[in-house]
Amino acid sequence: ERERERGEREREREREMLEQVSLPSNIFSICLGHALSTEYEEVMGLLIGDVEGKVAVIKSIIIPPRLDRKKDRVEVSDEELIFAASHAEDLSAATGETCRVVGWYHSHPHITVWPSHVDLNTQMTYQGMDPSWIGLIFSCFVSAEGAGQVQLTSFQSVNVPGTGLERREVAVAVRPQPALMAASVKALQSIPQVMYQEEKTAFDVAVKERGADQVLETVGDNATYERALCDLLHHVNLPLLRSMSERVEQVKQEIRRLKMEGSSV
């Protein structure tokens, strides 16, 4: 009887699973840029949007500070999940559209796009709270024949009897969105801010753990921190500034074109 009830619950969860993720092109670009911001650690963000039938419609993202920074896994605190839910409510009030946290994305630097057993377990934990929760993975910095290639997959976890957790691939449709929405601009700006805060927190913790007699170690911590900030400036801040400057110039050109069309009518 217990096995039958568990099987019924699993079938009910599968009926609530998604068939597609609708991802705006601008959000795709921001997630990809975030994934390419570091090749040494996984990064992550939370997806804001709504579920319409069997489709998760992504409308914005939020990038929280990582609870753990490792090359093969990434975590976010419960407090940041609560903050993201509050942010989604604010976005709903501002836009008049239903918004909530519908999933997460993270990067796989130097490894394949397929979710690891840790990813599958994390995804299943989220699905326990929301069966329609979706996961995106951006694989980048792959080596050898795949140099320069970026891959994207969307998935949910399913519990297969006798096998355990397996991935269930969900189709991704990237929809055109030429204009950057205010929430998207805010998410884009938050990438260097969050990464700086993570570096500062790690440095502060390292300094606090050093003894007064560990002079050379403290000098090493300072050098590591300064190197990290230089890397952040070179690999994140400057490319972001160039990208935004190019976008501003595109908007100016479009405004000039529309004015010329208007004057000729």
Mean residue pLDDT of the chain comes to 86
Q: What is the pTM of this model?
A: 0.82
167: β partners: 157
Cα dihedral value 30, 36, 41, 47, nearest 10: 20
pLDDT above 70 covers a percentage of the chain that reads 90
pLDDT digits (tens, 9 = 90+) for 205-237: 888 888 778 888 889 989 999 998 998 888 888
The residue ranking higher by pLDDT, 248 or 164, is 164
Q: Do the Cβ atoms of 96 and 59 come closer than 8 Å?
A: no
DSSP state of 75: E
Whether the pLDDT of residue 14 is over 80: the answer is: no
Q: Do the Cβ atoms of 9 and 73 come closer than 8 Å?
A: no
Burial of 4 (0-12, 13-18, 19+ CB in 10 A): exposed
pLDDT digits (tens, 9 = 90+) for 112-154: 999 999 999 999 999 998 999 999 999 998 865 545 688 999 9
Range with lowest mean pLDDT among 7-11, 49-53, 118-122, 171-175: 7-11
Helices (H), the chain: 2-15, 25-35, 78-95, 117-129, 182-209, 215-232, 238-264
